[in-house]
Amino acid sequence: MAWPGLGNSSPVPDGLQATLTLPFTPLMAIRARWAAVLAGLSLVLLPSALPWGNPGGPSLLPPARAEQPQGQEQSNKVLRIGAIPDQKPEKLNRLYPLVAAELERQLGVPVTYVPVVDYTAAVTAFRTGDLDLVWFGGLTGVQARLQKPGAQVLAQRDIDVAFHSIFIANTGSGLKQIRDVKGLTELKGKRFTFGSESSTSGRLMPQYFLAKGGVKLADFAGGAPGFSGSHDTTIALVQSGAYDAGVVNEQVWRTSLRDGRANRAKVAAIWRTPGYPDYHWIGQPNLDQRFGKGFSRKLQGAIISWRTTNPQQKQILTLFGAQQFSKATAASYKQIEQVGRQIGKIR
């Protein structure tokens, strides 16, 4: 007898001949039939037991959705901070990662800085809960709180209690120093630019003072002012002569003079506004629920504890143009809300 598949060239060894020629009994036939049945059942049942064979049925592996709450819980433990982009990205990207690192050290929770493209995006991200703590201007802070009931005003800089805007002019524009609000009429017929449309110091309060001085937006050259988008850009545009005049926040103006970005031979300050409340930190209403009881108070305490005697904190305060932060309340910004409603920025 030959091995199957090998033809007659390979005979079966003698010792195995008896095994291969044993008679096929009825009992062996029954066993064979049952083996075939069991094999068929296994082919039917096995795919349904595997995760890829029966998506709706039981799985041998933990379901993927079981991991989602854990991921959500981890993301809920990250404090996401943001800020209105009132200055160049290089400045913001230098400042706020330092803030995130210091808060992480003080609070013992992960903190990350999330940049936004413009003022409106900062308000929207706070309303949707994508940002937990935001450095807002006076106007955007009011807008954010009105859209997110329960939002918490936490802190402001020492300079924000009575903040100022600076009207600036190109030295070749013929504009001179202005003594009081009535002198703003000198800007009529001039090419003039604000900063961002939602800026407190670069648009809201300057427009308020212009109105008090009898200047309408239609009085500027071209029948309307420009909007540069940021204080840094306003300074650059006025300095270049693209605009005769503009208005910026005092802290950025002073920093630009100190850094040499503002050339005194080409651009000069012509009027300083009266003081008004401006920038402040605002936190989400659910911070205590997410991070533990008393977290909002701990966060506020961390910010107002920053001092120039600490090297890391001094660097932060210097970039903020401040000596320290102090507690702030929503009531301090009532005037900002009133002016915002007057000019149509708050409805």
CATH of the domain at 303: 3.40.190.10
6 within a domain of the structure (yes/no) = no
Tell whether 284 and 157 lie within a shared domain. Answer: yes
Per-residue confidence (pLDDT) for residue 347, from 0 to 100: 85
Tell whether 181 and 233 lie within a shared domain. Answer: yes
244 within a domain of the structure (yes/no) = yes
**Measured distance CA(170)–CA(187) in Å, rounded:** 12
Q: How confident is the model at residue 31 (pLDDT cuts 50, 70, 90)?
A: low
132 within a domain of the structure (yes/no) = yes
Q: Which domain holds residue 120?
A: 73-161+278-342
Tell whether 188 and 317 lie within a shared domain. Answer: no
Strands (E), 132-202: 133-136, 152-157, 165-170, 192-194
Tell whether 247 and 191 lie within a shared domain. Answer: yes
242 within a domain of the structure (yes/no) = yes
**What is the rounded average pLDDT of the residues 250-257?**
96
Looking at residue 28, its amino acid is: M
Least confident of 14-18, 109-113, 216-220, 330-334: 14-18
Count the domains in the chain.
Answer: 2
In this predicted structure, the answer to whether residue 19 has a pLDDT above a threshold of 70 is no
Tell whether 94 and 236 lie within a shared domain. Answer: no
280-283 sheet: strands from edge to edge: 111-113, 79-83, 133-136, 280-283, 152-157, 325-327
**Measured distance CA(347)–CA(328) in Å, rounded:** 24
In this predicted structure, the answer to whether residue 53 has a pLDDT above a threshold of 50 is no
Higher pLDDT pick, 301 / 65: 301
Which pTM does this prediction carry? 0.76
98 within a domain of the structure (yes/no) = yes
Per-residue confidence (pLDDT) for residue 75, from 0 to 100: 58
Tell whether 144 and 282 lie within a shared domain. Answer: yes
In this predicted structure, the answer to whether residue 159 has a pLDDT above a threshold of 80 is yes
Per-residue confidence (pLDDT) for residue 1, from 0 to 100: 39
191 within a domain of the structure (yes/no) = yes
**Measured distance CA(229)–CA(194) in Å, rounded:** 8
Tell whether 78 and 136 lie within a shared domain. Answer: yes
Per-residue confidence (pLDDT) for residue 56, from 0 to 100: 39
Tell whether 259 and 282 lie within a shared domain. Answer: no
In this predicted structure, the answer to whether residue 271 has a pLDDT above a threshold of 80 is yes
Looking at residue 124, its amino acid is: T
Q: What is the pLDDT of residues 207-223, one digit of tens each?
A: 999 999 999 999 999 99
Tell whether 264 and 306 lie within a shared domain. Answer: no
Tokens linked to 335: 């005037």
